């Protein structure tokens, strides 16, 4: 079913507001690479890859973390290029995917491989970057329609805490720590991302906010995962470990960025 309305674009910092009208878009179609970290997602990954490729992206890179099922086979059959990152860690998988994309990639899109992110929103994530309205666009799960049970209580709490901290420290109004996002590749390189675990998504938001890069957010909602069990919300220990990683990332990076800013002054 076709969506009748495009999601509203919400500026998340003053820099985006100050950009004013759209700048002229590039004359050349952008090369868009989608990166999908996955682990034991055989029930979903084929459908996810097919849905992403249907959005006219240039390539899909699936990063397998050592699946024990048919995830790799089904991702490749659906049209993805699969690489294996045997070291565990969400950030490590993402970094491996970034290193593997085409050399001429202009825009990178990130989403999960469990079917919970709606690939149909990829054009809405990418188009503001192509139009030079922003260099980064976040898809917020807590805005827009959510299927019952699609987000666990700890995920909602993490989104609220993250939103509060980002607003208090950086004045940015991101509403979620969603993995579903798009960014210009050259700007991502300049961010200096280092986090190797579940703090990756938060680190990117913090670095973007601290650098005052023009950023937007759209409502994408959330679906229930197609199959399997969440590596975080479906496991109490993993959830606590992820919460600790995210909290540690915020404290460490906030101190680092503040120290850097002080040195510049």
The whole-number average pLDDT for the span 227-256 is 68
Q: What is the pLDDT of residues 205-230, one digit of tens each?
A: 999 999 999 999 999 999 999 976 66
Statement: residue 171 has pLDDT above 60: yes
Cβ pair 142, 170 in contact under 8 A? no
Q: What is the CATH number of domain 18-264?
A: 3.90.550.10
Residue-range domain boundaries for the chain? 18-264
Spatial contact of 193 and 203, defined as CB atoms under 8 Å apart: yes
Q: What is the predicted pLDDT for the residue at 217? A: 97
Q: Is residue 44 predicted with pLDDT exceeding 90?
A: yes
Contact 116, 8 (CB under 8 A): no
**DSSP 8-class letter at 31:** P
Percent of the chain with pLDDT over 70: 82
Q: pLDDT confidence of 20, banded at 50, 70, 90?
A: very low
Say which residue the tokens 């699609």 belong to. 150
Contact present, 1 and 29 (Cβ < 8 Å):
no
Select from 224, 229, 239, 223 the least CA-distant residue to 154.
Answer: 239
């Amino acid at each position: 079913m076709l969506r009748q309305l495009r999601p509203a674009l919400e500026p998340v910092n003053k820099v985006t507001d100050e950009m004013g009208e759209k700048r002229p878009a590039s004359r050349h179609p952008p090369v868009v690479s989608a990166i999908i970290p996955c682990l034991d997602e055989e029930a979903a990954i084929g459908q996810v890859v097919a849905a992403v490729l249907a959005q006219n992206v240039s390539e899909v890179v699936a990063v397998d973390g050592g699946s024990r099922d048919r995830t790799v086979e089904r991702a490749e059959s659906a049209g993805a290029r699969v690489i294996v990152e045997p070291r565990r860690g969400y950030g490590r998988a993402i970094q491996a995917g970034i290193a593997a994309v085409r050399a001429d990639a202009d825009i990178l899109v990130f989403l999960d491989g469990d079917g919970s992110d709606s690939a149909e929103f990829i054009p809405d994530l990418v188009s503001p970057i192509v139009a030079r309205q922003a260099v980064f666009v976040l898809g917020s799960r807590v805005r827009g329609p959510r299927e019952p049970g699609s987000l666990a209580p700890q995920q909602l709490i993490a989104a609220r805490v993250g939103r509060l901290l980002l607003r208090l420290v950086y004045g940015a109004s991101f509403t979620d720590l969603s993995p579903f996002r798009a960014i210009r590749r050259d700007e991502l390189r300049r961010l200096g991302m280092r986090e190797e675990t579940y703090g990756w998504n938060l680190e990117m938001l913090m670095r973007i906010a601290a650098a005052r890069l023009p950023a937007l957010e759209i409502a994408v909602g959330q679906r229930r995962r197609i199959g399997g069990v969440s590596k975080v919300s479906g496991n109490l220990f993993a959830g606590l470990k992820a919460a600790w990683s995210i909290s540690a990332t915020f404290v460490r990076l906030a101190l680092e960025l503040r120290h850097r800013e002080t040195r510049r002054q």
